Amino acid sequence: MDICEAIRNRKLVSFYYKNHQRVLVPGAYGLHKTTGNKLLRAYQIRGGRNTGETPGWGLFKIEEISSYQVLDEQIENVPPGYVQGDSALSPIYCQL
């Protein structure tokens, strides 16, 4: 799973998470600053979701992601609401 490569190349990713297949724009990857869990901050554009409506930003535990794949689709613009230096992550391995 090369999340940083997808972020650098501005590629959409797809994965299965909490009973839903999702398509997302990966925004930042790093460790949660208090728990140490590996997390992906991503903007979901398609697929199922447990709370709220798509589209939207969310945090995803890497250990709970399955069937991860980088798609051929590339993003043109960073989704609304994205802020570099995600306050939930430290360190940040890579970000948009």
**Domain 3-76+86-95, CATH among 2.30.30, 2.115.10, 1.10.3210, 3.30.300:** 2.30.30
Q: What is the pLDDT of residue 11?
A: 97
Q: What is the pLDDT of residue 48?
A: 76
Q: pTM of the prediction?
A: 0.91
Mean pLDDT of 49-55: 67
Closest CA to 28 of 49, 6, 47, 50: 6
Q: What percent of the chain has pLDDT over 90?
A: 85
Instruction: Give yes or no for residue 53 having a pLDDT over 90.
Output: no
Q: What is the pLDDT of residue 55?
A: 77
Instruction: Give yes or no for residue 78 having a pLDDT over 80.
Output: yes
H, E, C per residue of the chain: CCHHHHHHCCEEEEEEECCEEEEEEEEEEEEECCCCCEEEEEEEEEECCCCCCCCEEEEEEHHHCEEEEEEEEECCCCCCCCCCCCCCEEEEEEEC
